[in-house]
Structure 1
Amino acid sequence: MKRILFVVFSCVLMALVGCSTVTKDIEVSAESDPKISFSGYKTYTWLGAAAIVFDEAGRWEPPAYDADTEIKFLIDKQLRARGMSESTSNPDLVVAFAAGIDMDNIEFVKNSETELETLKNIPKGALMVILVDANTGQPIWVGAAAADLQENVDVATAKVRLEYAVKEMFKKLPK
């Protein structure tokens, strides 16, 4: 019995450590209208999505992986966890997101051999989610996540990174 518990505990610990390593570079922020009570919002509809870069070669998004569909699924999951439901007739909120890549991002990186910092091109990816009050047309919450892009990433890693980013964003959505 102790051996089984040890194996289960070890697997859980490795999964947590692995997840934190895969997501350690993701920075999340959010802003909301302080006058809004989010508990009054019960329904939402989708405005759409914007993908700023199409990665046909699959260097930054795994081939045959639809990040837009995954992002929409993850946002739906977070909104439903808050008791909201999707509605096309008379929704309370309109949801939109945009994802993009900045291929020209340059950062200082420390050379491990010389300990000197040098400039290096490190592409950045970003995801922004916007909630708009359907009655007023005013944005009431914006969540954003930015991270270094990982070249030739596999589908499982891409899913973990997106799920982490969306989940952390929605933790910042007021109740």
Structure 2
Amino acid sequence: MKSSISGACALVLLAGCASTPTVHVDHDPQANFSSYRTYSWLGKPEGVSPLVSQRIVEGIDARLAAKGWTQAAEGDVAVVAHVSTEQKQTLDTMYSGPAYGGWGWGRAGWYGGMGMGSSTTTVHNYTVGTLIVDLFDAKTKQAVWRGTASGTAPSSPEKVDVAVDAGLTEMFDGFPPGSAPAN
């Protein structure tokens, strides 16, 4: 249950603490996106909360519908969405105490001193999630578009929803390739 919850949260990768996700898109320059009007789902996100998976699918459906595409049993394009998570760490070290001495040049020439000090290192664990959306030409079976969104996994379901929405919005902003981004 714990991994499902962290996977769901992480999944959304998409947003770190209130920051926007890092989004990248790529496409096949030879693909004729003006000929695509329908799509079908080949693979929906797994390994995350069913609710998060539903929200991702609904978000992609809404964005494709906004571009004039309709879902069909066998569309012009096959859609596959994946979610992956990765545990990461940061180390923060704080130094304190007197800093007497050291090595250096002074009035009397070279000198060396001693100092007492202390340091404390804190380990911060966090999860980075990545959402990957791939589109394939259904006839040729070739990849035509890929969008990825990555970020620190939010800690609450509400923030996960916001992160998924933000990632998908930016991902599909200039979709299909060659169209002007929405403002």
Match of 1:85 among 64, 67, 70: 70
Query: Where does residue 43 of structure 1 map in the other structure?
Result: 38
How far apart, in 2, do the equivalents of 1:102 and 1:21 lie? 14
Task: Say whether residues 1:138 and 2:142 are aligned partners.
Answer: yes
Which runs of 5 or more structure 1 residues have no equivalent in the other structure?
1-19, 56-64
What CA deviation, in whole Å up to 9, does each residue of 1:92-145 have, x standing for no partner?
A: 000010112212x23x4556x65x997632211110000000000011101001
How far apart, in 2, do the equivalents of 1:35 and 1:119 lie? 47
C-alpha contact 2:17 2:154 (8 A) present in aligned 1: no
Corresponding residue pairs, total: 140
Match of 1:160 among 159, 162, 172: 162
In the TM superposition, 1:118-133 aligns within 5 A as 120-133=124-137
Task: Say whether residues 1:102 and 2:86 are aligned partners.
Answer: yes
C-alpha contact 2:20 2:166 (8 A) present in aligned 1: no
TM-score of the two chains, using structure 2 as the length reference: 0.67
C-alpha contact 1:110 1:118 (8 A) present in aligned 2: yes
The structure with the larger Rg is 2
Percent identical? 27
C-alpha contact 2:154 2:163 (8 A) present in aligned 1: no
Q: 1:39 to 1:102 in 2, by over 3 A?
A: same
Q: For residue 171 of structure 1, what is the amino acid of its counterpart?
A: D
Structure with the larger strand share:
2
Local SS of the residue matching 1:24: coil
Higher RCO (CA 8 Å, separation ≥ 6 residues): 2
TM-score of the two chains, using structure 1 as the length reference: 0.69
How far apart, in 1, do the equivalents of 2:67 and 2:17 lie? 27
Segments ≥4 residues shifted beyond 3 Å: 20-23, 108-111, 116-120
